[in-house]
Structure 1
Amino acid sequence: MMDFEAGDLERVGFARLPGLADAEVLAGLRRAVRRLEELAAGRTASDEDFVLEAAGIGGWAAWQQEEAPLTGVLRSANRIHRHVPEFEELQGSLGLAHGPVAAAAGAAGTFLNSLLWAKPPVVGSAKPWHQDMAFAPPGFAAARHGIVTVWIALEAATTRNGCLEFLPCSHLAGLLPHAGDRERGPGQAPLRDAVEPHVADADLPRSHAPVAVPLEAGSAVLFDGHVLHRSAPNTTAAEPRTAVSFVYRVPLGARSPAVAAR
């Protein structure tokens, strides 16, 4: 896998950041993740902030269908900086908003959110092709701002345990239609045969082949909110794939007119 330069965010939609987190920051991120896991340890049901994994159907589908998940086994967590404030401190110490995000996007980013992406051995479920901008919060001014995410591997992310895959240049196609079900709100009835939101195969751009981005622990990939990405299931016996992502809002005017107008 070649190392992408920051300028490739505009050209291909993602850029690899080798060795982003040094040993000290990586240890801090792992400690913060352990605190999240402690918060989830007794949970027997998922919610919008803590999604538990479920063997066979995956954590997201089990949550939407109210199927029993694996007690305390996280698949993902949202707004993790609110649950464990150290996450926001650590992203600040990495200087992401004014460093790699600014270098790649043309302007400093504004911190929006942080998430945990856990893919446990054996049961870690797949994530289908999607664009993060499809899940922008209500009121997000998509005509003026874009999203840039920095996804940091806390253990080695490999093709065996479900590293991220991208469709190069797919961010230039704009927001594509997403099939599947939207997450149900609090108090809404379970969704029968829930299908996670995704871009259907027939709607995928065909100009480039998918590119897998394996990462060593502490390395990261930075990507545009419109670039298509997915991850395979973790079928290894003992290789967890755990990552933390930090999401930033960036002004579209800072980029080239061709990208800003998509």
Structure 2
Amino acid sequence: MEELVRELDEHGFIPLDGLVPEPVLEVMRRGCDDLIGRTRRMRHSTQGWQLEAEGEGGGWAARAAGRAGIPGKVRVVGRAHEHSPELAEVPELLGLNEHVVEPLHGLRGDFYNSYLWAKPSEVGSEKPWHQDALFLAEEFYETYEDVFTIWIAVDDAREDNGCLRFLPGSHRGQVLQDPHGIDRDDLFASPREPSLDIDRLWPDLTPVTLPRHAGSAVLFGAFTAHTSSANTTEDQRRAVSYVYSLPRRGTAGGGR
């Protein structure tokens, strides 16, 4: 575990191979299938349920502009645990807080959110370079220092169907001031999805691609820049992430 802690501190992310046993993975598949199935009658996105869409900017831009989405081709479902009993039970089945978050952070986290990242076949759109910190409310940092996102591959995530890419070391330093060029208050109303110019911001850092087999995962913090390419294959690339808010270390209860 100490080696993983050092790697996380250095790179801002760590792979977690074989995190999910097959019986739990089957639970996750059922939950994902149910959520995706509910979108087959949807025509327009909401903030919590975002469909992929034709045209420039894909599903993100379509939501902002009110354009119709593609039924059954969902890009993301937020607060997935509130919509799926199967996905809601996974953190307890895996012991994510006690077996992953606490050993790596030093304190147990507070559950923050969960997401289905569905990146559907043929139309799953690119996710530009970004830091998740942009999406956290400013008052978040009054209580917490960061988040751990545990991103679990439900299907094999490959380079050609949109596995994650990371920029090791991009988590170091101060929070970037409006690096994406979008006002936080207008974030979800903007047709332009947040995108970081990593060559300008981190000219000395080199991106790495991280394919994941189904049942494997990657853990990363809110300040680690990451992206995923479009899925133009015939294979779906489903993933579910569980996000934990990290209390400030050194408070009552310790810290590592």
Code of the aligned partner of 2:212: L
Distance in 2 of aligned mates of 1:56 and 1:254? 49
Give the superposition deviation at 1:95: 0.8
Residues 232-247 of structure 1 mapped to structure 2, 5 A cutoff: 232-236=229-233, 238-247=234-243
Q: Identity rate of aligned residues, in percent?
A: 40
Distance in 2 of aligned mates of 1:214 and 1:254? 35
Distance in 1 of aligned mates of 2:93 and 2:174? 33
**TM value normalised by structure 2:** 0.89
Task: Name 1:137's counterpart in structure 2.
Answer: 137
Task: Name 1:78's counterpart in structure 2.
Answer: 78
1:180-221 deviation digits (Å, cap 9, x = unpaired): 46112xxxxxx5xx2101223464312221011100000000
Code of the aligned partner of 1:183: F
Give the superposition deviation at 1:71: 1.5
What SS does structure 2 have at the residue aligned with 1:160?
coil
- Runs of at least 4 residues of structure 1 off by over 6 A? none
Please say if residues 144 and 245 of structure 2, whose CA atoms lie closer than 8 Å, have aligned partners that are also in contact: no
Give the superposition deviation at 1:85: 2.8
Please say if residues 56 and 123 of structure 1, whose CA atoms lie closer than 8 Å, have aligned partners that are also in contact: no
Greater fraction helix: 2
Please say if residues 107 and 254 of structure 1, whose CA atoms lie closer than 8 Å, have aligned partners that are also in contact: no
Task: Name 1:67's counterpart in structure 2.
Answer: 67
Q: Which runs of 5+ in 2 are unaligned?
A: 252-256
**TM value normalised by structure 1:** 0.87
Residues 152-163 of structure 1 mapped to structure 2, 5 A cutoff: 152-163=152-163
Task: Name 1:217's counterpart in structure 2.
Answer: 214
Distance in 1 of aligned mates of 2:162 and 2:5? 24
Task: Name 2:28's counterpart in structure 1.
Answer: 29
What RMSD over aligned residues (CA atoms) do the two structures have, in Å?
Answer: 1.9
Decide whether aligned partners of structure 1 residues 7 and 202 sit closer, same or farther in structure 2, where only a CA change above 3 A counts.
closer
Query: How many residues were matched structurally?
Result: 243
Decide whether aligned partners of structure 1 residues 248 and 144 sit closer, same or farther in structure 2, where only a CA change above 3 A counts.
closer
What SS does structure 2 have at the residue aligned with 1:5?
helix
Task: Name 1:179's counterpart in structure 2.
Answer: 181
1:206-255 deviation digits (Å, cap 9, x = unpaired): 2221011100000000001110000011121x121110000001123259
Distance in 1 of aligned mates of 2:20 and 2:142? 30
Q: Which runs of 5+ in 1 are unaligned?
A: 185-190, 256-262
Task: Name 2:98's counterpart in structure 1.
Answer: 98
Code of the aligned partner of 2:242: F
